[in-house]
Amino acid sequence: MRHWIEYWLVVVVARALGAIPRGVARLFSEGLACAVYWLLGRLRQVGLRNLELAMPELPLRERKRILRGVYRRLGWQLVEFCRMPRYTPQNTRGWIRTEGLDHYLAARDRGKGVLVLTGHLGAWELSSFYHSLMGYPMGMVIRRLDNRRLDAFVNGIRCLHGNQVLHKDDFARGLLTSMRAGQTVGILMDTNMTPPQGVFAEFFGLKACTASGLARVALKTGAAVLPGFLLWEPAERQYVLHFGPELQFVRGDDAEAEVLAATQLCNDALETWIRRYPDQWLWIHRRWKTRPAGEQGLYARRPSS
């Protein structure tokens, strides 16, 4: 019964936000995001703690400003997701553009597959959707939602223009098959992992247990790896789908050392983009939860609020 209620609640909200003017929907979502920011203190404290760990040079006032921006962007992303079924190449032309598309096209044309390194930065749901809207459908590695009806509803929207979903429980085989077929797959690589799925690579100067699957598949298949993010550019008042240059993985005699070095290169690229757009990354996730053996946890104490 609970799953039915969840499903219909999401469907009703999605249809309502999709039907009203985009500007009005954004105002509503900003109000909702502000309420969530103040009501869910635990998430707020996680966000402030992460900012304290990653950017200790910033004063508390600036960390709070960044975190409020994160909630605002999350509200906007909710609106975009609800309106995605209505989007076409024509009606998105005035407020979404691409930059660095030549990087992606060159990587795709090599024919060995493309792994788009991405994360919970900017409008990640709209990013893969817009990619398919441009005529470049891709695969997406995701975790199944517990509510199967809701999972089908969400994935139905994601895949309206040819995208495909690869579930994490079939992660390795699905990626290998896609790369051998010369396809494109986007991977969110900025969440906390646990060994053996993750290896410890530095992220903002701290050891972070990071998914190593992307590096392993790229090294095995020769697939291209390049960063890709859909980010809000305030000066332009529009979203820009950025593609960075292809990352160059170095091969050697030690397979695990290769994987660690490649994973570190991915983390470095993610950090660079997050530093450019700090108020668009999901700071409320406990990214540094898993610690190396013998090391104390980083979330025991609460930052000032």
pLDDT at 115: 98
Q: pLDDT digits over 180-221, tens only?
A: 999 999 999 999 999 988 999 999 999 999 999 999 999 999
Rounded to an integer, the average pLDDT of 48-66 is 98
Q: Nearest to residue 176, comparing CAs of 129, 242, 223?
A: 223
Residue 169 has pLDDT above 90, yes or no: no
pLDDT at 304: 46
CB-based contacts of 233: which residues, under 8 Å, 6+ apart?
239, 240
Report the relative pairing of strands 139-142 and 184-188 from DSSP bridges. Answer: parallel
Using DSSP, state whether 231 is helix, strand or coil. Answer: strand
Rounded to an integer, the average pLDDT of 237-264 is 95
Rounded to an integer, the average pLDDT of 9-19 is 87
Q: Is the peptide bond before 196 cis (omega within 30 degrees of 0)?
A: yes
For residues 164 and 262, what is the distance between their CA atoms, to the nearest angstrom?
26
Phi, psi of 123 (to 5 degrees): -100, 80
pLDDT at 305: 46
For residues 27 and 33, what is the distance between their CA atoms, to the nearest angstrom?
10
Long-range own/partner contacts, residues 256-265 (CB < 8 A, 24 or more apart): 258/215, 258/219, 259/199, 259/212, 259/215, 259/216, 259/219, 260/199, 260/201, 260/212, 262/214, 262/215, 262/218, 262/219, 262/225, 263/199, 263/201, 263/210, 263/211, 263/212, 263/214, 263/215, 264/201, 264/202
Q: Which two tokens stand for residue 233?
A: 């550019």
pLDDT at 232: 98
pLDDT at 303: 46
User: Among residues of the chain, what percentage have pLDDT more than 90?
Assistant: 85
Average pLDDT, rounded, for the chain: 94
Rounded to an integer, the average pLDDT of 223-251 is 97
Q: Which of 4-13, 179-188, 224-233, 285-294 has the lowest mean pLDDT?
A: 4-13
| Under 8 Å between Cβ of 137 and 164 | yes
The alpha carbon torsion through 215, 218, 221, 225 (nearest 10 deg) reads: 180
| Under 8 Å between Cβ of 76 and 232 | yes
Beta-ladder partners of 215: none
CB-based contacts of 144: which residues, under 8 Å, 6+ apart?
151, 167, 168, 169
Rounded to an integer, the average pLDDT of 37-59 is 97
Q: Which two tokens stand for residue 30?
A: 């900003």
How would residue 302 be classed by pLDDT, with cut points 50, 70 and 90? low
Rounded to an integer, the average pLDDT of 81-102 is 96
pLDDT at 2: 77
The alpha carbon torsion through 241, 165, 272, 239 (nearest 10 deg) reads: 20
Q: Which of 6-20, 21-35, 196-210, 263-277 has the lowest mean pLDDT?
A: 6-20
Q: pLDDT digits over 120-161, tens only?
A: 999 999 999 999 999 999 999 988 888 899 999 999 999 999
Residue 98 has pLDDT above 90, yes or no: yes
How would residue 172 be classed by pLDDT, with cut points 50, 70 and 90? confident
Q: Nearest to residue 92, comparing CAs of 41, 67, 139, 129?
A: 129
Helix (H) or strand (E) holding 284: none
User: Among residues of the chain, what percentage have pLDDT more than 70?
Assistant: 98
The letter for the amino acid at 39 is L
Handedness of CA 140, 146, 150, 152 (dihedral sign): positive
Question: For the chain, which residues make up each domain, given as ranges?
Answer: 90-280
For residues 58 and 64, what is the distance between their CA atoms, to the nearest angstrom?
10
